[in-house]
Structure 1
Amino acid sequence: MITLDLCLPDTRYPIHIGRGLLDDAQLILPHLPQRKVAIVTNATVAPLYLERLQRGLEEAGVSVLPIVLPDGEVYKTWDTLNLIFDALLSSRAERKTTLIALGGGVIGDMTGFAAACYQRGAPFIQVPTTLLAQVDSSVGGKTAINHPKGKNMIGAFYQPRAVIADMTLLDTLPQRELSAGLAEVIKYGLLGDVDFLTWLEDNMAALRARDYDALAYAVRRSCEMKAEIVVQDEKETGVRALLNLGHTFGHAIEAGLGFGTWLHGEAVGAGMVLAAALSHELGWIDEAALQRAVRLIGAAGLPTQAPDLGLEAWLEHMSHDKKVESGKLRFVLLKRLGEAAIVEGVDAAALERVLTGPYIQRAD
């Protein structure tokens, strides 16, 4: 097991990465202010892993309330969030009842937001079951639900007490979900570590084949990079926005197609292609660098073309992006491979060329 520590001004918590961690209640017990937890999961994950986690905690003397939600991005809403509150209130859960998120990014985001709101703040722990959640969404304290007009527009910054990333849970992950997680891994190489980017090029086949050592290194390096950035900027007032590489375009894709049509990682993959294309249009990276990024994203099994939303719809959806400031779009773009920057006031003609160019799908 590898343990990373994320140290913030007001809190500190471990990120445990290893095999068989789901069965080790001792990783959870030190973080419980009382011996009562609510495990929030979904209808897909529950049959696979809920009993194992629940049994281990109950054998350690912990009272467990299971809360099983419907599965999918389309359920990342107020109505589903209220199912968590209904269950907590019906069971007379107290402020010291710990919420445990057992699932992917949707479950982690909703459980964290529920914890931030319930009785003005209950503790929570992340047990991510997807690659995307293990390398990105479970770390850093971003919690949210979606609104029809925008992704993750209603939420809170609220840190977990611990993150427990059991690599064996990836064994049951569908291949499409694995590729979606690889989008967030590639993001880290593109925005801040060209050596990691090269490693990903050399090891993509092993990652997609679920080689344990390769996946463990990818999770570790991604968490290390995210932790370094979150420590500098917990509330995303500056450098943390770099973690949104590809997300301005990606969130527009998700909203434009309807949440859940494309997986978040698929939208981010295509979004990173568009971000690289815009960087090329602005003269910051050359054609060879652009094609290198496109090849790696494609090698991960991700789309390298975005759906044709139409220019007006693209701009409308991107106008709801959380990086918009004083009404101006801001993008995370590549100054070079391994170095990203937040850019405001992008040339409108260059943006239009990208949104009508070769990396947009055309109807046959």
Structure 2
Amino acid sequence: MTARPVIALDAMGGDSGPAAVIAGAELARERYPKLLFRFYGDETAIRAELARAPRVGAEAVVVHTATQVLGTDKPSQVIRRGRGTSMGLAIEAVKAGEAQALVSAGNTGALMSMAYLALRTMEGINRPALAALLPTLKNDSVVLDLGANVECDAENLIQFAVMGAAFARVVLGVERPRVALLNIGEEELKGTEELKEAAMLLRAVDLPMRFEGFVEGDKIGQGNVDVIVTDGFSGNIALKTAEGTGKLVTGLLAEAFKTSWLTRLGYLLSRGALRALRAHLDPNAHNGAVLLGLNGIVVKSHGGASVRGIANAIGVAHDLVVADVARKISDDLANFHAHRPAAVDLTSAK
């Protein structure tokens, strides 16, 4: 375990730039007093904000760069010129061992592309996967992949399941997370060959998880599983649909309470419950998607995250560093390959 974790922060990423990033770091330092930070971006702007952040400012390292990755930049463009940007330098800090993790609220596509090229995947991992927390009727669930890989084979899905379970053990505190593959039905005969093969292999090997088979899209919000595994295409649609549904529900409630004096009275009587609902659905409460499977911890914050949201993303990075999630993933993968069957018979699932 790292005695004092160092987090590299892309201070220029996100909608609010250094102001929100440094205020978020200050709040995170209050929660985790041993945290150290390296800030990358415009030094003058960063120093001005650090003057208002006494917990962080005294020990902070600032690395100046005049360039940054813009939200409109295409990953192909950034790859050619991005190493000297605030995002690129933060990634290089992790690669060089100057920091154990990085957090950026910048361009998602650019962050994934640059991090993958600089850090490469861990041994035994073919592709990284973007994982995040999704609110449910019970506790949060981990969902991956959320967009890093449009198409996945069975081996990718198995690796995602192992990584997602390790992530859930750290962020959810569940010793044996319940894991399921997102599918069009719960029956074994449904789904693609890749899904059926991944399911049969996951059932065949004893891992630090409880494999629950398949889960349908309408069951995601029930919270009956801790980890939901899918390809990046389906995962991104599921995430955006869930976020849109949350906005729809809160919007419909807001309109409904305006229709008459009785509904306004109902609003006054139910304000506490509505505040709890809003807090549960608030993206800032679940901020911090992680690009799992790289040789280094990469956390993506929402571009419009609040100070609390950025602090939560930093907290995710802190927890993964302290728990040594990379070792957990490596150990679980080694265990899987040591005990996996030589061949899989899919005929029983047809």
TM-score normalised by length of structure 2: 0.28
TM-score normalised by length of structure 1: 0.27
Bigger CA radius of gyration: 2
The structure, 1 or 2, with the larger RCO (C-alpha pairs under 8 Å, 6+ apart) is: 2
- The structure whose residues are more often strand, as a share, is 1
